[in-house]
Amino acid sequence: MIGRSRQGKTNMCRIRIREASWPADREALEAIRCEVFIREQGVPRGLEFDGRDTSALHWLALAEDDRPVGTLRLLASGQIGRLAVSASERGQGIGSRLLHHAIAAAEAHGWNEVWLNSQHARRSFYAPFGFIVISDVFQEAGIPHQRMLRQLNQRPRLAMTG
């Protein structure tokens, strides 16, 4: 199959990421989140779809055949969430690319920080992006999480000489 490796994964250069609209792209966004959060992780549908999607910014990762393979949302509060990549496409940097888009959008909006509730086992994914843990472990949808924060638009401090 063209565009696929021997392991069945999509060739990363063929993945495109675009901003998505909840009304127009709802079916694709829901499909990925249902696959990852509801079926794989057992998150109840009512918790996953919390009524905040209509006002959120969304990104969608699409394979060459326009098959949705990843998603992420950014709320006006600065919360990044619902980062999900199809199991068959993980390990190719799709999640990193989605996260870069959200951080860039928050910086473009002039926000000072973004935050997320990371699954405890996934904290090391966010650390290289400048996120730091700012809470104790807590349960969300029966899964251990920790809140993480990243400062944005920080100007380097000049050392005082004297």
Q: Could you read off the pLDDT of 82-140 as tens digits, one per residue?
A: 999 999 999 999 999 999 999 999 999 999 999 999 999 999 999 999 999 999 999 99
pTM of the model: 0.86
Write down the CATH number for the domain with range 12-151.
3.40.630.30
Pairing of strands 132-133, 138-140: unpaired
**Averaged pLDDT, 149-156:** 80
Residue 6: the pLDDT is 38
What DSSP element (H or E) covers 7? Answer: none
pLDDT > 70? residue 40:
yes
Q: Using only the alpha carbons of the chain, give its radius of gyration.
A: 17
Read off the pLDDT of each residue in 1-18 and give the average, rounded to a whole number. Answer: 59
User: What tokens appear for 14 in the block?
Assistant: 């063929």
**H helical segments located in the chain:** 22-33, 45-48, 94-108, 123-126
Q: Centre a 10 Å sphere on the Cβ of residue 162 and count the other Cβ atoms it contains.
A: 3
Where are the chain's structural domains?
A: 12-151
- Indicate the residue type of 33: R
**pLDDT computed for residue 1 by the predictor:** 29
